[in-house]
Every structure is written in C-alpha cells, then in structure tokens.
Amino acid sequence: MKYKKPIFITIEGCEGCGKTTQSELLKKYLESKGLTVVLTREPGGSIVAEQVRNILLNPKFNVAPYCELMLYEASRAQHLEDIIKPNLQKGCVVICDRFTDSTLAYQGFARGIDKKIIEKLNNIATSGLKPDLTIYLDINPNKGIKKAKTVNKGKLTGGDRIERESLKFHNNVRKGFLELAKKYPNRIKKVKTSEVIEKTQKEINKEIDKFFKKKKIYV
Ligand code: TMP
C-alpha cells in the first residue's frame, strides 16, 4: 500500500561524490517502503530553474560572485514554488540533490562571500523551509574532481564552470560541508563514500532508517 508523508531530504557533497546515483537509489529504497517519492535537483529541477542552471554551469561564461550567488538563489526560489512546496503539500517525500548547504559551502566557504548574507538569501529563497534530513557524502576532492570530469568512455573532460575551479576551491567546499555537518549534527548526517556503490548505499540507508524510525514513519 502506498502512503504519504511530507518529508524533505537533501543530499549534499563535493564533485564526484556520487550524489546523483545515490539519490536515485534512495528514491527506490523509500518507494520499496511504500512511500511516494519525488526526486529533484538544484540548481534546476523545474523549467525556468533549469534555464538558470544552464547559465550557471556554462564554462564559457564569466560570472561575477554576487551574480552567481543570486542566480543560485533565483533558481531555488523558482524550484521551491514549482516542485518542492507543491509536492510536500501533497504529502510526498521530496529528495533534493543539493540545496542551501551547497550555497554556504560553495559561495560562502569557497568563494568567500559573507555567510550571513547567504543565510539571509537562503531564507528568502526558501521562505524559511529547512530540510528534515541532509545526507552529506564525504569524498576527498582530489579523487572526486577526477571522477566528476571523467565522462565519455573514461576520458577526462574539462568539466562545467564550477568543476573547473582549482583544487583549493574544492578543498574549501569540503571544509565548508564538514563545518556545517559539525554545526548541525541533528540534521546533517555525514556518510563516507566508498568506491563500491552498494557500500555507500548501505551506510545511507542506515541513516535513513534511523531517521524514519525516530519519526515513527516505518519500523
Ligand atoms: P551538480 O552538478 O552536482 O548538479 O551541481 C551543479 C554545480 O553547482 C556543482 O558544482 C555545485 C554548484 N552549486 C553551487 O555552487 N551553489 C549552489 O547553491 C548549488 C545548489 C550548487
């Protein structure tokens, strides 16, 4: 029997951490428990927001830091109205591949924009909506960035505009996520990624089961 619970889960991590694969596996796992699940992503996730994503990730564009920040927030504000809010209102579990923690990690910790400004803008774009649970997939950027750029029969590509940033930038992103995980231990659960997809999946499901049992959603 299908049943409904409005739960908002976000998946975060550095480049190449396997978020997208793990988000899809998590959707299937929760569906197997009888829940109605919507999987979406940021930046993007809806028609207008995906257009903003195309600007943000195009390596041909030079985007000024505040323009970058506001485009991520613009995409989020649209995505929230189009996908996140209506599906939570319908009682679905919404899984979002990246959300506000990415803005703090990338535009705050790595790009150097004042985190208080980002928190304010995050709050405006989301109308204060916070994830119920965040899974942070930890990977060393040294490994992750190579993985992220390796597509097309194992060939190394240039990557998108953000993937092309320096290793120092990506190390600062990771530091940001680790700091956020320390600051919000109840919400953000750190999972160490493994080369073996099933191993990472098992660790994620452990955190998911703990959370859902605590909420008395399934036992
Ligand atoms: P993705 O390729 O993991 O879907 O994410 C797109 C890129 O956007 C990734 O490099 C992380 C970056 N990003 C930010 O810099 N700030 C944000 O707020 C979000 C959501 C993503």
41 lines ligand 1 (CB under 6 A): yes
Rounded CA-CA distance 157/150 in Å is 6
Residue 53 identity (one-letter amino acid): R
Per-residue model confidence (pLDDT) at position 41: 98
Looking at the domain assignment, is residue 57 inside a domain?
Answer: yes
Nearest-atom number in ligand 1 for the CA of 75 is: 20
Nearest Cα residue to 170 out of 58, 43, 15: 15
Query: Could you write out the DSSP letters of every residue in 190-215?
Result: EEE--SSHHHHHHHHHHHHHHHHHHT
Give 2 Cα–ligand 1 centroid separation in angstroms. 32
Give 54 Cα–ligand 1 centroid separation in angstroms. 11
Query: Does 87 score more than 90 pLDDT?
Result: yes
Query: Does 154 score more than 70 pLDDT?
Result: no
Please give the model's pTM, rounded to 2 decimal places: 0.95
Rounded CA-CA distance 55/30 in Å is 33
Name the residue at shortest CA distance from atom 7 of ligand 1.
162
DSSP single-letter state for residue 35: B
Give 106 Cα–ligand 1 centroid separation in angstroms. 8
pLDDT over 90, % of the chain: 89
Looking at the domain assignment, is residue 150 inside a domain?
Answer: yes
Per-residue model confidence (pLDDT) at position 31: 95
- Among 52-66, 150-164, 170-184, the minimum mean pLDDT is found in 150-164
Share the mean pLDDT of the chain: 94
Per-residue model confidence (pLDDT) at position 150: 72
Which tens digit of pLDDT belongs to each residue from 13-65?
A: 999 999 999 999 999 999 999 999 999 999 999 999 999 999 999 999 999 99
Looking at the domain assignment, is residue 117 inside a domain?
Answer: yes
Looking at the domain assignment, is residue 1 inside a domain?
Answer: no
Query: Does 217 score more than 90 pLDDT?
Result: no
What CA–CA distances, in Å, run from 40 to 77, 84, 141?
14, 8, 24
- Where does the pLDDT of residue 147 fall: very low under 50, low under 70, confident under 90, or very high at 90 and above? confident
111 lines ligand 1 (CB under 6 A): no
106 lines ligand 1 (CB under 6 A): yes
Looking at the domain assignment, is residue 54 inside a domain?
Answer: yes
Looking at the domain assignment, is residue 184 inside a domain?
Answer: yes
CATH at residue 98:
3.40.50.300
- How many structural domains is the chain composed of? 1
Q: Cβ-count burial of 214 within 10 angstroms (0-12 exposed, 13-18 middle, 19+ buried)?
A: exposed
Beta strand pairing call for 188-192 and 133-138: parallel
Looking at the domain assignment, is residue 2 inside a domain?
Answer: no
Helices (H) and strands (E) in the chain, counts: 9, 7
- Which residues span the domain enclosing 164? 7-214
